[in-house]
Amino acid sequence: MYHLLIVDDERHVVDSLSELFRLQADMELEILTADNGFDALEIFQRMKIDVVLLDIKMPGLSGIDVYNMISVSQPSCKVIFLTGYSSFDYIYQISNSVNVTYLLKTEDNDKIVYAVKTALNEIDNQHRQQEFLELTERTEKLLIHLIQRDIFNKIVKGIYIGDISEHIAQYSGKFGFNLKKPIFLVFCKLGREIAITLTTNRNDRLLDMIFMIEKFLQGRFIVSVLEMDINTDLIFLQPAEGVSFSDALPEANIKESLNDLVKLTQDTLQRLCVYVMYHRSIEWNHISVVYELLHRYTLSESYYITELSSYAVVLDEDAVTNIRQKERSGNRIYSGDMITKLTNALYKGDENECLKTLNDISSLYNEHDDMHTLQMIRVYQSAALVFIDYIIQYNLQDVISSQKSLYRIFHIDENWSWEQGFDYLRDLSVLIFSVTNSMDSNTNFELSNRIKSYIDSNISGNLSLTNISNHINYNSAYVSRIFKQVTGTNLSTFIMNARIEKAKELLSKTNDSIKVIAEKTGFKTPHHFSGVFKKATNFSPTEYRKRS
């Protein structure tokens, strides 16, 4: 739907043009009107206008006055000036302006409609160009991200930077970071969704995250994001070329900037989040050590991170000292690693690992722990939140609750012992995997049927794996694997068999020539068709026709 604004101080002109465009059903227009420049500007302040038909001579604010204002606030708006023969001195003032055309008020209706249609076509073309540029930018950014992911994975694991310098050099500068300059590390933990949104693939989520942070930092930093698990990212920041560390991120503004980023993340990704940033820049060979500190801090706070709030933390030396003192205190229940393992196993669809991790978590309690032990309450609720988040994210509440009460998932008082509570979580885990496996099976069956339907309706056309995958919007390797899994037949074999069956039908029921049948069944030449047909049936096409 496009917004067309008609502005003229002569009411009969406005009414006439409004009626004209209401009759143009194919243009999908929402028509707004104003009979002076001030009312027109008020409409521009309220909403985005795509095309404006603007009288050039009006009392008070002229059409040129209105144009000069909206060219700043809405520069993409297409302006069509309505002029009289005596208005050309006005036109001269803006003769070199962009997005502007002129029409005489004496022009017939067809020319006025054509001018608006031309403007709308230009808008469509600009949108397509913008979408293409955005797609190109995302593709290039994805390539750089994959290169950076490969390298940062090695660095985070503690591989010495000197040992992979040759590996980095192979990417011919596409890595983007300067190994001679320090770097900032930020740990991001995403909690449950604020609102239910459609799940995007991981690369898309990471690209959205990178673009969001780059825009927030206004080009002052090179940004890379490494996914550590389904809800955890490690963000690498380095001042851009020519920007000093103190100018890029003044120490006094770090916490304030992180708080702003938290709010932006909530608004943009609709996810609760915690950002933990090391308080100063670090050398490359210290990345793995600082990552472990950030990781251990978030593990110690994992329960609160998945609760109902978002916040930012700057991890200074005092906080690091506190982490180490807590770990030396011999706290018996340190469950953060296990909760992370449970999350990863659930989201990766690994049922055995999920149940094993639940058993490991449940082993933290002993026979002396009653149901009021705060440490165990925290452990249990952290595990329960993992399942709650998963059920919400994949919209499983109705199907799960129809088979098992969900009331107990967060009501510990419904269990008379920790053993009974973790038995409930184990049963819930088994049910979740059963439901999701069934859903996957149904989805795969539907996908297989879509592939078969496409093959059947395009038997004479290009049935390459790439073409089929593009049509149904799935990765080609995934299409091939799922089709074999569901049907037990390779896709290429199925296509060839379908073409042979169609050829048999045409040979039996029509008088089409062998050449025509070859074309109708997707073979390049009659010779190729005859050879394949005989190999499949032990008869040449002519012999088969005679026998049938």
| Residues sharing a CB contact under 8 Å with residue 68, sequence separation 6 or more, in sequence order | none
Taking phi over 0 as left and psi of -120 to 50 as alpha, with beta for the rest, 401 belongs to alpha
E-strand stretches of 352-440: none
Torsion from C-alpha of 383, 386, 392, 396, nearest 10 degrees: -70
Taking phi over 0 as left and psi of -120 to 50 as alpha, with beta for the rest, 81 belongs to beta
pLDDT at 441: 66
Q: Render pLDDT for 471-488 as a digit per residue (tens, 0 to 9).
A: 877 777 678 878 887 788
Token pair listed for 440: 């996957």
Token pair listed for 107: 């022009």
Phi–psi pair at 235, nearest 5 degrees: -105, 130
| Residues sharing a CB contact under 8 Å with residue 539, sequence separation 6 or more, in sequence order | 533, 547
pLDDT at 93: 57
> What is the torsional sign of CA 354, 356, 357, 363?
positive
Taking phi over 0 as left and psi of -120 to 50 as alpha, with beta for the rest, 373 belongs to beta
Distance CA 410, CA 412 (A): 6
Taking phi over 0 as left and psi of -120 to 50 as alpha, with beta for the rest, 59 belongs to beta
Phi–psi pair at 3, nearest 5 degrees: -105, 120
Topology adopted by domain 458-547:
Arc Repressor Mutant, subunit A (1.10.10)
Give the residue from 100, 19, 20, 17 showing the smallest Cα distance to 56.
100
CB atoms within 10 A of CB 282: 15
Distance CA 181, CA 211 (A): 23
Whether 458-547 and 2-107 are alike in CATH topology: the answer is no
Note whether 123 and 28 are within 8 A (CB).
no
| Residues sharing a CB contact under 8 Å with residue 526, sequence separation 6 or more, in sequence order | 514, 515, 518
| Residues sharing a CB contact under 8 Å with residue 284, sequence separation 6 or more, in sequence order | 155, 161, 179, 182, 183
**Residue segments in the chain with a per-residue pLDDT below the cut of 50:** 194-199, 303-306, 330-334, 368
DSSP summary character for residue 199? P
Distance CA 294, CA 184 (A): 12
Note whether 209 and 233 are within 8 A (CB).
yes
Note whether 495 and 502 are within 8 A (CB).
no
| Residues sharing a CB contact under 8 Å with residue 176, sequence separation 6 or more, in sequence order | 144, 148, 222, 224
Would you call 223 helix, strand, or coil by DSSP?
A: strand
Give the residue from 51, 207, 43 showing the smallest Cα distance to 139.
207
Distance CA 465, CA 337 (A): 42
2-107: in CATH 3.40.50.300: no
DSSP summary character for residue 536? H
Give the residue from 39, 392, 411, 482 showing the smallest Cα distance to 195.
392
Distance CA 261, CA 258 (A): 5
DSSP summary character for residue 172? T
Taking phi over 0 as left and psi of -120 to 50 as alpha, with beta for the rest, 349 belongs to left
Distance CA 359, CA 338 (A): 10
pLDDT at 94: 56
Domain ranges of the chain: 2-107, 138-328, 336-431, 458-547
pLDDT at 196: 39
pLDDT at 332: 43
Radius of gyration of the chain measured on its C-alpha atoms:
33
Token pair listed for 488: 């037990």
pTM: 0.50
Note whether 297 and 276 are within 8 A (CB).
yes
Amino acid identity, position 336? G
pLDDT at 299: 67
